[in-house]
Amino acid sequence: MDNCADRIVSEEFGDFIFEIDEIPDSIKAVPEFCYENINNIFAVAYLPLALIPDNLIPRYSYSIYPSCFGLMDINSLEDSGVARIQNSSYLNLTGEGVIVGIVDTGIDYMHDAFKNPDGTTRIISIWDQTIQSPDGSPEGFFYGTEYTQEQINLALASTNPLSIVPSVDEIGHGTAIAGIAAGTRNVSQGFSGVAQDAKIVVVKLKQAKEFLKRFFFIPQDANCYQENDIMQGIKYLINVSRRLSRPISICIGLGTSQGAHNAQLPLSIYITSLSTQRGVGISIAGGNEGNRGHHYAATVDPTIGYDTVELNIGPNNPGFSMELWGQSPNIFSIDLFSPTGQYIPRIPARLKETRELNFIFENTRVFVDYELVEAQTGGELILIRFQNPMEGIWRFRVYSAINIEPSFNIWLPINNFLTEGTRFIRPEPYYTLTSPGNTVIPIVTAAYDYRNSGLYIYSSRGYTLDNVVNPSFASPGVNMVVPAIGNTYTTQSGTSIAAGFTTGVVAMLLEWGIVKGNQTQMDTLQIKNFLIRGARRDPSVVYPNRDWGYGILDVYNAFSTLIT
């Protein structure tokens, strides 16, 4: 079998995630079938869209679709104890000997925040998945182009840098995260990255394919990234770390509201397995969905037999999807009322049931897929996709057939994928962590304002659906000074900024533990527990809790717990 290079980037082929040993024979029999292993568990199959059936969910499972992920000042160093550590003659931890890894929108490599004093780059390499070249992809990968430190330095010395390294960050999100984690201090701008002596490795993700955005009705102008490309990007970072024999602190500032909000997405499983490896620290943004109104939770009252859900759909909404996840062993089903009163009677909960509903007066189509036993979680999934939904309040009743604690949750897409005004009338702000922030081992960060110690208004709240305590703690993430495109600086807020800050702190700990030999087997779990132990806690608040996790990040206090 030849490699999948052409299929990976072609819009004529769809990407689907399977467990390696469970790729169906009917998939393997599709002409031009090709697959690539990500690790020893998951593979990505590339199939010609013209030859695959429309009913993939009832035939194979919802889980084969890659989830779609969106993008989630010096005084902050004082509040988190970073400055006290770096000013200590004994500790003085600045990330020396550690790699900071970013999987995001790329990096503005010409920015002063990523240069040494002599003008050379602090970036080891960039893998740009969006630029295809015949022999430029990294070893072991079959798409994109890798740019080395030597090439970046040649570009920086050139009068036309982009003619040598044409990789750019058009959005600025990756530049901001890399900067807050490891950017070079600029006192005049009130900016300092955390791990200022760490080296940087960057993956610029390619945008999700059109077939996937069409299926989930994600706006065409939304920045959307596929789960399998993120997994490949993380694999690349790990490969660089192992090749150079350096510990690595990885930041994931992306998130999705797809899935059951537990640790069962392929990406979550993958990063959990990496988190137990020596010299790997992984920090994840918890998400910015807390007060968006995009989550609904309820328990069906057995005396009534159903629960009524009200969803307001805003104007000019071309479409969206939402997911209802029901607690096993209950069996859930729904009916629908449109804003004008058109009624679709209860749709029977049958195995692999698929329905297309047409609301004539609203010019709206609704697609409903039932999976009574979803492959990854074992729970029930009802996937509901709206095309050209009419503005107004839609109502649907959720029925339960068994009534053994018949609770269910519904999640709308992340804010970036929805038009304004689409939200539940009676939302639930908890269980709003975006994946992969629903994992067990990696560090998951909420965001707070270090100026007033207030939680960021949109910071997602825990726990996971399996009641794992996430977020781990809160890090600075409100109005933070960060590098911006064009060698400028700006302020940004959000849990991805908080995750970038935490990534820098993790790099400091990897320097202390592995580079300096104080804890040579250090991994993500040890680092997380170390930071949880030192987190600042309000004596009037019970911890852990769903807003703050175990408190506020304080790395100096974490070291103090070792000494006392």
Same domain assignment for residues 462 and 489: yes
- For residue 94, the SS3 value is coil
One-letter amino acid at 122 equals R
Q: pLDDT tens for residues 210-230?
A: 999 999 999 989 999 999 999
pLDDT confidence of residue 1: 41
Other residues' Cβ atoms within 10 Å of the Cβ of residue 272: 18
Same domain assignment for residues 342 and 401: yes
Residue 411, domain CATH: 2.60.120.1290
CA–CA separation, 488 vs 176, rounded Å? 11
Whose CA is closest to 290, among 176, 535, 455, 475?
455
Whose CA is closest to 385, among 415, 419, 363, 413?
413
Same domain assignment for residues 411 and 445: no
Same domain assignment for residues 399 and 477: no
Pairing of strands 248-252, 99-104: parallel
Same domain assignment for residues 493 and 443: yes
* Of 73, 104, 108, 523, catalytic: 104
Tokens of 138: 């990294």
Phi, psi of 149 (to 5 degrees): -60, -40
Distance from CA of residue 432 to its chain's centroid?
Answer: 13
Last residue of a domain, one of 424, 459, 485: 424
Same domain assignment for residues 387 and 460: no
- For residue 539, the SS3 value is coil
Whose CA is closest to 512, among 523, 504, 520?
520
Q: Which residues of 122-138 are buried (b: 16+ CB within 10 A; e: fewer)?
A: bbbbbbbbbbbeeeebb
Last residue of a domain, one of 424, 449, 477: 424
Residue 152 lies in a domain: no
CA–CA separation, 481 vs 492, rounded Å? 7
Are 276 and 524 in contact by the 8 Å Cβ rule? The answer is yes
Same domain assignment for residues 285 and 300: no
Same domain assignment for residues 213 and 255: yes
Residue 321 lies in a domain: yes
Same domain assignment for residues 299 and 277: no
**Domain housing 237:** 71-128+167-290+435-563
Are 483 and 179 in contact by the 8 Å Cβ rule? The answer is yes
Q: pLDDT tens for residues 99-115?
A: 999 999 999 999 999 99
Q: Could you confirm whether 173 is annotated as catalytic?
A: yes
Are 52 and 30 in contact by the 8 Å Cβ rule? The answer is yes
* Of 496, 523, 547, 554, catalytic: 496
- For residue 530, the SS3 value is helix
Q: Could you confirm whether 125 is annotated as catalytic?
A: no
- Residue ranges in the chain whose pLDDT is less than 50: 1, 73-74, 76, 564
Residue 112 lies in a domain: yes
Same domain assignment for residues 211 and 78: yes
pLDDT confidence of residue 30: 86
CA–CA separation, 181 vs 198, rounded Å? 9
Residue 139 lies in a domain: no
pLDDT confidence of residue 74: 47
Tokens of 454: 């207030």
Last residue of a domain, one of 400, 424, 448: 424
* Of 173, 261, 294, 295, catalytic: 173
CA–CA separation, 453 vs 180, rounded Å? 19
CA–CA separation, 188 vs 292, rounded Å? 36
Tokens of 407: 């609770």
Same domain assignment for residues 305 and 390: yes
Question: According to the 3-state scheme, what is the secondary structure of 175-219?
Answer: HHHHHHHHCCCEHHHCECCCCCCCEEEEEECCCCCHHHHHHHCCC
DSSP letter (8 states) at residue 442 = S
Same domain assignment for residues 230 and 340: no
Instruction: Give the Cα-Cα-Cα angle 72, 493, 271 (nearest 5 degrees).
Output: 35
Other residues' Cβ atoms within 10 Å of the Cβ of residue 428: 16
pLDDT confidence of residue 154: 98
Where are the extended beta strands (E) located within 348-476? 354-359, 364-371, 380-387, 392-400, 407-411, 423-424, 443-449, 454-455, 473-476
Q: What pairs with residue 370 in β-bridges?
A: 382
Residue 15 lies in a domain: no
Number of domains composing the chain: 2
Residue 133 lies in a domain: no
- For residue 395, the SS3 value is strand
Residue 533, domain CATH: 3.40.50.200
DSSP letter (8 states) at residue 515 = I
pLDDT confidence of residue 90: 57
Q: Could you confirm whether 496 is annotated as catalytic?
A: yes
Residue 515 lies in a domain: yes
Residue 7 lies in a domain: no
pTM: 0.95
Pairing of strands 280-285, 443-449: parallel
